[in-house]
Chains A and B, each alone.
Chain A
C-alpha cells in the first residue's frame, strides 16, 4: 500500500471530524453570543429515519403584510424581528436583501403569497425529543391547547447574524422535557 493512501486517509479523517465539529462551533457561538427570542408555537410529532423523534413546530409568526408582489414560492427572505410588549418576537420588516437597520433577523422561506401578504416558514422547526417523550409532548400540547392556554407555548431561539439555534420549547413555564414527565 502506497503511503499516499494513508496521507489522503488522514486528510479525509480530519474532514470527517471537522464537519460535525464545525456544526458544533457554529451553534455554540450563536448560543453564547446570540440574543434569545421567544416564538409562539404549535407542535406536532413526526420521525426522521436517522435522527430519531422530533416535534415539528409551527409558529404563529408566519406572515407579513406587504404590497410588494414580486415574492414567489421558495424565495429566501430575511425576517427582521423585535420583541413586543409581552416579550414575544414579532416581525418588523421582511426583505430579500440585507437592510441597513439595527436589529436581528432570521432567514425564512416563502411558502405562499397573496396580493397584500406573504406567508413564510421559519427554519428552526425541529425540536428533537427522547423517543418515549415525543408522543407525550404532542399530547401535552393538545391538552394545553384545549384549555385555551395557547400563549403558554413558545420556543426559545438564539439569533446572531441571521443564524439561529432552537434552544428549548417551553410549555406553561416549564421546558417540554420536564413538562411531560
Chain B
C-alpha cells in the first residue's frame, strides 16, 4: 500500500476519527487484498526497459559496422532474437507473471525486426519498407495471444497503422491498397474484446479504446485512391461507425473521456460535416460520379457495418436509444448522392444538420447534467455561426446581434444547468 495512504490513516488516527486498532485493520486489509496482484509499476518499467533495449539494438545495428565480417554480423543479428525467444519461451513454459511476459514479448518483438533488418543490410536486400513491416507484423502477431501481452498488442496496432500509411499513402510509386491492415486489426480484435469484458474500467482498456479508433481513422486515408471526393463520404461514414461502436452496451461503464470511439467519432463527424456547410465544397465536386471505384465499395462496406451496428442498437434498445450523431452519416449520404446538383439546397440541409447535431449535444448534456457535453453542443453551434460569417453578406448589425445571442446562450444554458444540478443535490 502507498505511503500516502498510510499517512492519511495516521492523520485520521491523530484527529481521533478512527482508533489505532481500526487503522491497523484497514492497513492489513489492503495489504492482503493486493498481495496476489502483479506490481503495476514493476510491469511498466519492465515494458519500458525492453522497449528501450530493443529499439537501442535496432539503432546500433543500423550503424552498419563495416569492420565486422559477414559472419560476425549474422551472429550479432541472431543473438538478440534467440535471447528474446529463450525469455519468452521460459515465461510460457513456467507460466511466469504478466511482468515477465510483457517484457520478454516486447523485447522479442524488436529482436525479430532487428534480425531481419540486419540481414537485409548484410545482403543489400532492396525490399520496400512496406513488405519489411508486413513480414515483421506477421512474425510477431501470434505473440499477442501466446503471451497475452498488452504491449505486443499495442505495438502490433501501431506497426499495422504504419504499414497501412506507408503502403497506401507515402509510397507514391505504388498504387497498392493495404488490405492486410484489416486482417491485422481483425486479428487483435478478439484480444481487445476479452480485455473490455474483463476489466472495463482499467487504464489498459482506455489506452486500447483510444488507439483502436485512432488507428482506424489514420489508416482509412490509405484506402483512398484517385476518387478523393468520395474520401469525405468514407470518412463521415467511418466516424458514424466509430460513434455507434462507442455507444454499444460493452462501453456503458466507461466514462466519456475514456471512450475514444465516442469522442473521435463525434469530433470527426462534426469537423467533416462542418466543411460541407460551405458552398464552395459543393461547387468543387465532380459533375458526374464514377460509380465503379474502390472508394465507393469501401464506403459501401463501411456503411453496411455502421448500419448493422445501428440496427443492433435499435433491436436491443429501441429506436429512442439512437441519437442524431449515429444517423448523421445516413443523412449526409442521402444529400450527397441524391441532391448534389440542386443549387443551394444541399448547403442549407448541411447547415441544418450541423445545427441539429449541436442542439442534440446540448440536450444530451442537459439530460445527463454533464457540462462538458452541453458546452460541446454550444461550441458546435457557435463555430457554425462563425463559419457562416465568412460566406454570407449579412450586415454587421445582424452579425453583432447573433454573436451577442450566442454568448448569452452560453451563460444562460450553463446557469440553468447549474441550478438544475443544485436542485438534484
Contact = CB atoms under 8 A, between A and B. Distances in A.
Nearest to A129: B64
Contact of B65 (A27, A51, A53, A130): A130
Contacts of B117: 50-52
A1 to B, nearest CB: 4
Interface stretch (B139-147, B184-192, B231-239): B139-147
Interface in B90-145: 92-93, 95, 108, 112-113, 115-117, 119-126, 129, 132, 135, 139-140, 142-143
Given A12-B142, A52-B121, A20 B63 contact: no
A1 B96 CA distance: 9
Nearest to B89: A9
B139 A9 contact: no
Contact of B62 (A8, A19, A50): A50
A128 B126 contact: no
A5 B143 contact: no
**Majority SS at the chain B contact face:** helix
A131 interface: yes
A98 interface: no
A51 B81 contact: no
B123 A23 contact: yes
Nearest to B139: A16
Contacts of B64: 52-53, 128-131
Interface string B45-83: 000000000000010011111100000001001100110
Q: Which of A27, A127, A165 has the most CB of B within 10 A?
A: A27
- Chain A interface size range: 35 or more
Contact of B124 (A8, A74, A126, A131): A126
Q: Which of B81, B117, B125 has the most CB of A within 10 A?
A: B125
A100 to B, nearest CB: 28
Contact of B92 (A9, A74, A131): A9
B81 A16 contact: yes
Contacts of A170: none
B302 interface: no
B95 A17 contact: no
Contacts of A62: none
- Chain B interface size range: 35 or more
Contacts of B82: 17
B372 to A, nearest CB: 39
A58 interface: no
A165 B126 CA distance: 9
B95 A1 contact: yes
Interface in A93-149: 111, 123-131, 133
A15 B139 contact: yes
Interface in A2-32: 5-6, 8-10, 12-13, 15-17, 19-20, 23-24, 27
A63 interface: no
B153 interface: no
A118 B81 CA distance: 44
Contacts of A6: 89, 92-93
B375 interface: no
Contact of B89 (A10, A49, A53, A177): A10
B175 interface: yes
B85 interface: yes
A17 B81 contact: yes
A119 B65 CA distance: 35
Contact of A131 (B63, B89, B108): B63
B347 interface: no
Contact of B135 (A19, A133, A177): A19
Contacts of B146: 5, 8-9, 12
A166 B140 CA distance: 29
A28 B153 CA distance: 35
A52 B61 contact: yes
Contact of A24 (B119, B124, B126): B119
A164 to B, nearest CB: 9
B121 A128 contact: yes
A128 B124 contact: yes
A43 to B, nearest CB: 12
B194 to A, nearest CB: 15
B125 A16 contact: no
Q: Which of A23, A129, A131 has the most CB of B within 10 A?
A: A23
A163 to B, nearest CB: 11
B128 to A, nearest CB: 10
A24 B118 CA distance: 11
B126 A23 contact: no
A13 B139 CA distance: 9
B88 interface: yes
Contacts of A27: 123, 125
Nearest to B142: A12
Given A8-B146, A23-B116, A130-B63, 15 more contacts: A1-B92, A1-B93, A5-B92, A6-B93, A13-B88, A20-B77, A20-B116, A23-B125, A27-B125, A49-B129, A51-B117, A124-B124, A125-B126, A128-B64, A128-B121
Interface of B: 58, 61-66, 74, 77-78, 81-82, 85, 88-89, 92-93, 95, 108, 112-113, 115-117, 119-126, 129, 132, 135, 139-140, 142-143, 146, 173, 175
11 contacts: A5-B92, A6-B89, A9-B92, A9-B146, A20-B119, A23-B123, A24-B119, A24-B122, A48-B62, A126-B125, A128-B122
